[in-house]
Amino acid sequence: MYAYKEILTLENPQQLNLSNPLPFLKGKKVEVLIIVEDDSDEINTDETDYILQNKGLMQQIALSTQTRQQHAGYQPTPKELNAILGI
């Protein structure tokens, strides 16, 4: 098992921008763990622990990440996008 660590400040909470490419080969299965410096009570650690310890949820997250990377996930219709975005 290999590990990579980088500390960064989020500009957009929906996107991580790493300063260097990851030192892993394309197609490798990776496990992602995000630890946030907690200045407030925004994150409920009980919920975070529950998710991290729930194998089924972690598998769903891994599968979702994989389909996202492969651009193979569900693509909403323009009508659905409008409903989601409130346009």
| pLDDT tens by residue, 35-78 | 887 666 555 678 888 888 999 999 999 988 888 888 887 888 88
Q: Where are the alpha helices (DSSP H) in 1-87?
A: 45-53, 55-69, 78-85
pLDDT at residue 68, rounded to an integer: 83
Residue keyed to tokens 């997250």: 61
Whether this model's pTM surpasses 0.85? no
- 73 within 8 A of 64, measured Cβ to Cβ: yes
87 pLDDT higher than 60: yes
Of 38, 62, 65, nearest to 51 (Cα)? 62
pLDDT of residue 12: 86
pLDDT at 40: 62
Long-range contacts of 15-24 (CB under 8 A, 24+ apart): none
21: tokens are 């490419």
